[in-house]
Structure 1
Amino acid sequence: MSVRSRTVHRTLRHLLRNWALFVALVVLWELVTRIAEDTFFPPPTVILGTGARLWLSGPAGQLFLTDTVFEDIVPSLARVLGGWLIAAVIGIGVGVALGRSRTGMDYVGPLFAFARAIPPPTLIPVFLVLFGIGTSMQLATIVFAAVWPILLNTVDGVRSIDRLQHETARSLRTPRHYWIGMVVLPAALPKIFAGLRLSLSIAVILMVVSELVGAVNGIGYELLFAQRQFDFPVMWAWIVLLGALGYGLNSLLLAVERRALRWQPARNTQQAQQLEGA
């Protein structure tokens, strides 16, 4: 069996095992909720039916998507991705600068430690005063929370570059912009991606929290509205949708990470060892 065939076989086996466990848990959830008949915990079939009615019962001209998709889900996704991308740009840029500096973190490290210790939801009233109710406040909340894992992982990644790489680039008189783009960032990518994955999860959480307080639309707003109306199937439908969106975004980022880090010898060696053990 070729390496490619073994890789495909192992991937399919892994997917089947994971999905089998997931299906088993859903079936167990269905049975338990049917037996309990608890109003607060509807069965998965009821939740899925409610979700289909909420989001997939629109006209054919809208690909059967309802207005709720465009008025609530799309704005929430835009806030998550917009805030996360802003945090990525700030975190990577500042992280590279501080990682390249010998004394930068000595000055700003205590300030960063103080800012990171502040729970982002407690700053929502401050952002409401500064930006008012709307997308600006929500983006500020997401960026403040999501920037720290990216920034600190970038600093750590930049500082972990091998000394031999420094000496080689210096002996070749490599220009600074080539040095950063061709050596520093590629070497720091594993830790940068680790920060990006963590910050993406944080961005989803803070999107929901900010929409619970200062929003007139969005997933968090609809979730809170359903809870106040005691419409538990709708509430659970939004909760399940959040889990699906988080899983999908994380899977996309993992796919990008695998493709971006294919060149790393350590990663290739690890994959080869996994194939041998399969």
Structure 2
Amino acid sequence: MSTTTDLVDAPAADPVHAGPAAEPRRSRMLLLQLLCFVGVVVLWELVSLLGLVSASALPSPFETAARFGTLLADGGYWSAVGETLRDAVVGLLAAAVIGVPLGLVTGTYVAAEESSRLLVDFLRSFPVIALLPVFLLVLGSTPSMKQTVVFIACVFPVFLQAQYGARSVPPMIAETVRAYRIPRLLRFRRVILPSATPSIMTGLRLAATTSVLVAIGVEILTTLPGIGHEVTQQQQSGNSDAAFAYIFTAGILGYGINRASMYLETSLMRWRPPAHPS
């Protein structure tokens, strides 16, 4: 008779790889995405040419692209990007260090989850930007304040996903573990953590994008340096093309972080069979 450890350690079946028939579909999808992007740029250019929106508020896409190319050679541009990324990463790491263990503990033990449910639901109902004046009074307009706001915005998605993952152990495996009286540490390492890892990775991926957006939002509302502060400064100075170039930079960062997170998740989860095998 095989033990629980044998059951858990057994390698998962290899994912079902998409055949050659999936290539045309992927190519069509990429083409549609490209056409959608080009369509938005064309519409943007038409609005600019027809003067439907003031040029001081909405520059043409070509002016924005030209200014973006100029900014790439400016050290101040890279300094602003670095400020935003640094505080976003610090807040995200703090959220992961605190949110993942707490989520695993409350997801594993029913008493811990039930006793903390009211507090968690109460705290995560606050819009984090609405708490910004409080943090400004307590911490001042400092990078630590921005990192704290990012942490609060990211910790609950990470916490809840880790908690959900810890509760996702199949009932049959959970009953087998109890029947064999597997030690807690071994149960956590061989049963709970593998089951929770997909949900944890999803929470981290969502939080990674949120961290950059919140950091930029804080910079817009305060005097802290970063992409958001540059958007405000350039807009107030009448350099709308530079402001849109920084907004475009924020979009590139968000997209890049999301794609990198998805790639990392896929690489780390190769052992996991596909959810809907063909």
What range describes the TM-score normalised by the shorter chain of this pair?
Answer: 0.7 to 0.9
How many angstroms apart in 2 are the aligned matches of 1:255 and 1:111?
A: 34
TM-score by length of 1: 0.84
Task: State the partner residue of 1:41.
Answer: 58
- Higher helix proportion: 1
* Pairwise CA distance, 1:5: 4.2
In structure 2, the residue matched to 1:202 is: 210
Deviation digits for residues 92-138 of structure 1 (CA, Å, limit 9, x no counterpart): 11000111112112222111111112111122222223333221101
Match of 1:29 in 2: 44
Q: Does 2:103 correspond to 1:95?
A: yes
Give ranges in structure 1 of 5+ residues lacking alignment.
58-65, 274-278
**Structure 1 residue matching 2:249: 3-state secondary structure:** helix
Taking structure 2 as the reference length, the TM-score comes to: 0.84
Distance 2:30 2:96 in 1: 30
Higher normalized contact order (CA 8 Å, seq sep 6+, divided by chain length): 2
Map of 2:30 onto structure 1: 15
Answer with 97-106 or 12-21: which moved more: 12-21
Q: What does residue 54 of structure 1 align with?
A: 71
The Cα of 1:171 is off from its aligned counterpart by: 4.4
1:230 Cα deviation from its structure 2 partner: 2.5
Query: 1-side partners of 2:150 and 2:187: how far apart?
Result: 32
Alignment of 1:210-229 (within 5 A): 210-229=218-237
Distance 1:240 1:3, change over 3 A: closer
- Give structure 2 stretches of 5+ with no counterpart: 1-16
- Cα RMSD between the aligned structures? 2.2
Among all aligned residue pairs of Structure 1 and Structure 2, give the percentage whose two residues are the same amino acid. 31
Superposed displacement of residue 239, structure 1: 1.1
The C-alpha deviation readout for 1:68-89, integer Å capped at 9, x for no partner, is 2332101111111221121122
Q: Is the 8 A contact 2:132 2:149 kept in 1?
A: yes
Deviation at 1:52, TM superposition (A): 1.1
Q: Is the 8 A contact 2:216 2:228 kept in 1?
A: yes
Matches within 5 A, 1:142-161: 142-161=150-169
Residues 143, 224 of structure 2: 8 Å contact kept: no
Partner Cα separation in structure 2 for residue 202 and residue 121 of structure 1: 13
Of 171-180 and 232-241, more deviation after overlay is shown by: 171-180
Letter in 2 for 1:16: L
Between the aligned partners of 1:191 and 1:122, the Cα distance in structure 2 is: 28
Deviates more, 1:234-243 or 1:204-213: 204-213
